[in-house]
Amino acid sequence: MNDDISRAIQTLPDRVNADHRLTRIGRYCSTEFLLAAGEASFHIQVERGRITQVLPGPRRMRAWSFALRGAPDAWRHFWQPVPAVGFNDIFAMCRYGHLHIDGDVGPLLENLRFIKEVIALPRGDIAGDAP
């Protein structure tokens, strides 16, 4: 298991819920999405801009709106303090083949700024070499 990635994702509820600016941006966001790093996956439940639950997966019979799937190293590069080109944004990661977005992208696009800021919160917390 990638303990550094798991720890980074498990800290999201406290970090998001303590950030009043971010919860205000996401106040209309209520969804559940899957963030996968290789074989490890996490169900992240959002209610009105607050993360209410992060459950390690995969979980059978657990629905999610969309999934962000990347290799652990891709997430480590994304979470560098200043990510390299191709790792600086979830859409750049898709363009370069480091990330796949599955499912209903409607909730992602409707709450794009919020989701992108939530996903980027662990930047600088994970040690690793830049690509």
Q: Which residue has the higher pLDDT, 62 or 91?
A: 91
Rounded Cα–Cα distance for residues 86 and 95 (Å): 7
- State the residue range of the domain holding 47: 3-70+100-120
Q: What percent of the chain has pLDDT over 90?
A: 84
Q: Is residue 66 part of a domain?
A: yes
Confidence of residue 127 (pLDDT cuts 50, 70, 90): low
Predicted confidence band of residue 130 (pLDDT cuts 50, 70, 90): very low
Q: What is the count of structural domains for the chain?
A: 1
Summarize pLDDT for 33-59 with one digit per residue, the tens: 999 999 999 999 999 999 999 999 877
Neighbours of 9 (CB within 10 A): 22
The DSSP 8-state label assigned to residue 98 in this structure reads S
Domain annotation covers residue 12: yes
In three-state secondary structure terms, 62 is coil
**Residue 12: partners with Cβ closer than 8 Å, 6 or more residues away:** 44, 51, 54, 118, 121, 122
Q: Is residue 77 part of a domain?
A: no
